[in-house]
Structure 1
Amino acid sequence: MDAGVEARLHAGDVTFGTDDATLLGAIRDHGSVSAAASELGRSRPRALSRLEALESAFGPLVERRRGGSGGGGSQLTDGACELLARFDRLRAALSGTAQVAETVFEGTVTERTGELALVETPAGTLRALVAGADTDADAGVTVQVSVRADAVTLHAPDDAPDEGATSARNRFSGTVASLDRGEAVARVGLDVGTETPLTALVTVESVERLALAVGDRVVASFKATATRATVI
């Protein structure tokens, strides 16, 4: 499923996005603005106009060489290369975030304080941020609560920290229902009494340290700030 996440960098009123990264990449690969514009099906004046807008916000991006014995052309500045690298890192981070599994519970708001709501679910009461600070998410309203798998921490029942000793105030006890081990990361499905298992994404090292196996009892904890409640 496409989560619709797009990377963007901002400087003042100017936004650097995928089309801009593609333009700089084409200039780097083809050695001129004209060749890059032609490759991308854009006009040269349009490409130059966009470069001018980007450079007004992000600084010099393209060095233009006049014709001569070596010929003319364009190359990216060090600043442009760093901007592309920043954009690629941001895009990779957002892509990884979008692809992380999440668990969705359905529950009823029992209390609302600002952006935070208490939600009663079949697994118990949890704290969640109200998506967009939805004004309709008052007590008695049904919501869907999503929990990102990489936000869930697993503990052995006897080693779980006291609730007051951690910022991860949401805590469910459950049984390991599935365990899918990769090379470095494992996806653990927990039966916490809900129709959909709670999914946790943890390192294989953690699985081995906890000696996890299907059927084991564990305690799962996660922060309210990693939990989103949306009115349905």
Structure 2
Amino acid sequence: MDATADVEVQLEQGDVALTARDRTLLQAVAAHGSLNAAADALGRSYAHAQRRIVELEDAFGPLVDRSRGGSGGGGSELTDAAEQLLARFQRLQADFDGVATAEETVLRGTVVDRDGELATVETPPGTVRAIVDTEACPGDAVEVGIRADTVTLNAPSEAPESTGTSARNQFAGTVERIDEGTSIALVALAVDPTTTLSALVTDTSLDKLDITTGAELVASFKATATAGVIPALDRSLSDESS
């Protein structure tokens, strides 16, 4: 296993991947009627946009019908294949958004230090840096939420150095379960005897990185994408006593 399992929505064909940026370009061509106008509207280089369309067409087939001259001055429109490709991308994005919204790992821990909005929280699997309620002080209990779509998975040999990346939190673990959908997969990583961390990956990444049950992985997630809150019950008790 190598590289990184992440959740950037994309459609792959060979070595070429259609990304959200490519989708935006194709949609702009459809909206503005030419690649030149699309590039202008997006603030992109026409030469780069043209080169990218050629790369995509080499992989996926004809995507843009181009006409030159004529009474209308020529222009471009998407092919049926391009429309179908965009529809596939939209379905994948919808699947991803639905799971990402629902899946979150919640760790209960104690604030041990804080620096402005960022706090250090001690949890069962280890220390977590997160944006925590400003009301929470050292010694207070908090719940830290980690969305599945913010977690990146790496093989141990490929994991970034925690001191050299904004993904400040890292846990090593073993893949306990893989729930595969039609286009995305939810990976449950056991990071301690009582805690599993959920990570969302595309099925393509799952296959490419050979993620299987029992595999050893490292999960990384940014402190700025991790939220800590005072549990509702604790907050209620605090309000009653004040």
TM range (shorter): 0.5 to 0.7
- Alpha carbons 1:104, 1:147 under 8 Å: kept: yes
Rounded Cα–Cα distance in structure 2 between residues aligned with 1:165 and 1:206 = 24
Rounded Cα–Cα distance in structure 2 between residues aligned with 1:119 and 1:189 = 22
Shift of the 194–120 alpha-carbon distance from structure 1 to 2, 3 Å rule, reads: farther
TM-score normalized by structure 1? 0.55
Say yes or no: does 1:229 pair with 2:228.
yes
Structure 2 unaligned regions, length at least 5: 1-93, 232-242
Rounded Cα–Cα distance in structure 2 between residues aligned with 1:129 and 1:152 = 16
Query: For each residue in 1:139-195, what CA deviation from the matched residue of structure 2 results, as whole angstroms up to 9, or x when unmatched?
Result: 111111000000000000111111233211110000000001122210000101163
- Alpha carbons 1:126, 1:170 under 8 Å: kept: yes
Rounded Cα–Cα distance in structure 2 between residues aligned with 1:169 and 1:117 = 12
Rounded Cα–Cα distance in structure 2 between residues aligned with 1:97 and 1:213 = 20
TM-score normalized by structure 2? 0.53
Give the superposed CA RMSD. 2.0
Rounded Cα–Cα distance in structure 2 between residues aligned with 1:179 and 1:109 = 32
Rounded Cα–Cα distance in structure 2 between residues aligned with 1:123 and 1:98 = 22
- Which gives a bigger RCO, structure 1 or 2 (Cα 8 Å, sep 6+)? 2
Shift of the 128–231 alpha-carbon distance from structure 1 to 2, 3 Å rule, reads: same
Letter in 2 for 1:99: T
Mark the structure with the bigger radius of gyration: 1
Letter in 1 for 2:104: E
Aligned counterpart, 2:106: 104
1:192 aligned counterpart, secondary structure: strand
Letter in 1 for 2:164: A
Aligned counterpart, 1:121: 123
Rounded Cα–Cα distance in structure 2 between residues aligned with 1:206 and 1:165 = 24
Which ranges of 4 or more aligned residues in structure 1 deviate by more than 2 Å? 95-100
Aligned counterpart, 2:140: 141
- Alpha carbons 2:167, 2:223 under 8 Å: kept: yes
1:183 aligned counterpart, secondary structure: coil
Rounded Cα–Cα distance in structure 2 between residues aligned with 1:188 and 1:97 = 12
Aligned counterpart, 1:162: 161
- Alpha carbons 2:100, 2:147 under 8 Å: kept: no
Query: Percent sequence identity over matched residues?
Result: 51
2:149 aligned counterpart, secondary structure: helix
